[in-house]
Amino acid sequence: MPQMGESIAEGTIVRWIKKVGDSVDRDEPLFEISTDKVDAEIPSPAAGVLMAIAVKEGETVPVNSVVATIGAAGEVAEVPEVPKVPKVPEVPKVGANGAKTSAQADGTSAPTVAAPAPPSTTNAALAAPLAPAPQAPQAPQAPEAEAGGDRHKSSPLVRRIAKEHNVDIGQIQGSGIGGRVTKQDILGFIESPSDSRSPDSRSARPASEPLVQDRPFTIGAAGAQIVPMSVMRKKIAEHMVLSKRTSAHVYSVFEVNYSKVDQIRKAKKDDYERSGAKLTYTSFIAKVIVDCLRAHRTINASIDGDNAVYHHEINLGIAVALENGLIVPVVKGAGEKNILGLSRAIQDVADRARAKKLNPEEVHGGTFTITNPGNFGAQFGLPIINQPQVAILGVGTIEKRAVVIDDLIGIRTMGYLTLGYDHRLVDGAVADQFMADVKKGIENFDPSQV
């Protein structure tokens, strides 16, 4: 179990990507872990055959514990004893038939009911379960094999995502070693607006919606399914409740005209793509936010006990929706970057967040956060402040609307921005002055900055 940061003492095995007997290459993803800081796929430290697994999915062990053994083909390996982190005893639950369920040695409760295997490949798991999942018969793997027996290189997670979205992996150009289709490849394919994809794939269940049948569950009153929260979900819950209890949340909503930004983006996005960057609306918003934070230091602050900390550096948190949760990687030194640098940095941390390649220090140290519920069509949101920061920006959907311009009705590209702020430090006048400058900066964006 690797140590993913100085303050991390233990980790939970979320999923084994390889099973006993599988061949594995050096640096090939071997298993997935979850800690109180970050989730990550862990690469194999050596090439060989996975001889034994000492820690099962869902178990938590101290860092530096041996979790598996890799050896040569035919070699016999002993499973080492691994110290498990003690689990909190569970209170007996009452099942649907009124019988009490008893706690088991592995920390689950009985009776545990495994959901039936999905009837078709389109209902297969999109997200890797964060608790032990029962073994089910494998459904036919139609999308991953081509005529002639050629098999496209991909991980089990990629194949699950492909089945969930009804995507033929053969349509995707892999960027991994030997043309391997990576998780980043398939997520980019799914997110890109393409007429070549079937309506079923475009209307498939969102990536952030967990499937209950992927995890063991107990039966509660009236047949309700009781599913343990994942490590990440528990940490999100703790952080959100702490923030609501800590900060005096207040919100201001501003309508913004993105028409000029839209024109600049259309003119420059091809140039950015040739430079390996995506010029998105978030790029423009981030640049304006950075400029305005320099002038409004109270917004780029945090609270430490009875002290207000006004930060010199601007470290921009970017909320990224994952398959089974949310994470906020931080673009460090955002105040020193131009719009091209911000575009590259935002794309980089978002891609590595989805691929579970972030380091613990990359999700800490933010001074201001941007979240984008508008990706899913929300007009605006009321986001919860990311502690210990004092403000967060919610970006609503950007779309063409009819607006009144000089007593005439015109069509413009519009959207709402919401600033959530902590009234313990930020007064309404300060917040609204900041947002007025943000609105002005977007609506009058200087094309020479792009």
What radius of gyration, in Å, describes the C-alpha atoms of the chain?
Answer: 24
Q: Nearest-CA neighbor of 202 among 167, 234, 168, 178?
A: 167
Residue 406 annotated among the catalytic residues of the structure: no
As a 3-state breakdown, the chain gives helix, strand, coil percent values, each rounded to 5, of: 30, 25, 45
Would you say 133 and 57 are in contact if contact means Cβ atoms under 8 Å apart?
yes
d(CA 30, CA 59): 16
| Cis-peptide into 80, omega within 30 deg | no
Pick the catalytic residue: 239, 427, 432, 446? 427
The DSSP bridge pattern shows strands 23-24 and 29-34 to be: unpaired
Residue 152 annotated among the catalytic residues of the structure: no
| Residues linked to residue 414 through DSSP beta bridges, in sequence order | 257, 399
Under 8 Å CB-to-CB from 250, ≥6 apart: which residues?
420, 421, 422, 423, 426, 428, 431
Would you say 243 and 384 are in contact if contact means Cβ atoms under 8 Å apart?
yes
Burial class (CB in 10 A: 0-12, 13-18, 19+), 254: middle
DSSP 11-43: EEEEEESS-TT-EE-TTSEEEEEE-SS-EEEEE
Pick the catalytic residue: 423, 432, 437, 446? 423
The DSSP bridge pattern shows strands 109-110 and 100-103 to be: antiparallel
| Residues linked to residue 386 through DSSP beta bridges, in sequence order | none
- Count Cβ atoms below 10 Å from residue 445 Cβ, excluding itself: 20
Catalytically active residues, by annotation: 423, 427
